[in-house]
């Protein structure tokens, strides 16, 4: 069973890389099989069509992001450090699959199936819940304003993460630090100001 799961994962990894590099229409099932180190017949044991592989690869991509956020939400650290880890985790994901952001996946409506879009939207809700959990920790620590809805702050964080990650990648920078302008503005923009 474990070997079967690994083959399936190898196929999805191959597919994500090829879809990123060549696009959906220019990727052939044979290319995916070669990239995964399996025969074309084996590929069809796991997936019925290229559409099926694409849909599963999109879901897999979102699942990996959710797993990373869940990991960050569960580690024993401060809100600020978790926020930095989130930024840098997202940056690594963006650098691996620069053209496969959740926005890009969802905007592929002429390629992605309606069923998969609904699945991903459900997963995005889960992602926001995890980020809200991290924000709620910041509120408990007294470093995030309590009068702002966590969902609103989650939107701010996700939007900033996506756009700033793309900017950093264009400049070939691989890490976001505490003193980066955007991180400082984001963090200090909604952090509680302590009286001296």
- Using an 8 Å Cβ cutoff, are 104 and 166 in contact? no
What pLDDT is attached to residue 65?
84
CA distance 102 to 90: 11
* 167 within 8 A of 141, measured Cβ to Cβ: no
183 confidence band (pLDDT: 50, 70, 90)? confident
Q: What percent of the chain has pLDDT over 90?
A: 36
pLDDT at 97: 45
Q: Which CATH class is domain 49-190?
A: mainly alpha
**CB 144, CB 153: distance < 8 Å:** yes
Q: Kindly report, as residue ranges, where domains of CATH 1.10.357.10 are found in the chain.
A: 49-190
Kindly indicate whether the domain formed by 1-47 is annotated with CATH number 1.10.10.60.
yes
Query: Considering only 6-15, 44-53, 157-166, which range has the smallest mean pLDDT?
Result: 157-166
User: Pick the residue with more confidence: 109 or 137?
Assistant: 137
Instruction: Please report where in the chains the tokens 């991180």 appear, as a residue.
Output: 183
Give start-end residues of each CATH 1.10.10.60 domain in the chain. Answer: 1-47
């Amino acid at each position: 069973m474990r070997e079967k799961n690994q083959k399936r994962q190898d196929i999805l990894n191959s597919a994500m890389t090829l879809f990123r590099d060549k696009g959906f229409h220019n990727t052939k099932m044979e290319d995916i099989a070669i990239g995964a180190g399996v025969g074309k017949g084996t590929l069809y044991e796991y997936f019925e069509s290229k559409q099926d592989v694409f849909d599963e690869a999109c879901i897999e991509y979102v699942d990996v992001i959710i797993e990373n956020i869940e990991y960050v939400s569960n580690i024993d650290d401060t809100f600020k450090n978790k926020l930095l880890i989130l930024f840098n985790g997202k940056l690594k994901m963006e650098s691996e699959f620069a053209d496969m952001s959740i926005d890009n996946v969802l905007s592929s409506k002429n390629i992605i199936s309606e069923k998969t879009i609904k699945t991903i939207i459900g997963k995005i809700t889960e992602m926001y819940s995890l980020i809200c959990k991290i924000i709620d920790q910041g509120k408990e620590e007294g470093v995030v304003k309590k009068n702002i809805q966590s969902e609103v702050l989650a939107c701010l964080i996700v939007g900033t993460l996506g756009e700033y990650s793309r900017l950093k990648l264009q400049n070939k920078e691989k890490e976001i630090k505490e003193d980066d302008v955007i991180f400082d503005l984001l963090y200090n923009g909604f952090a509680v100001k302590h009286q001296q």
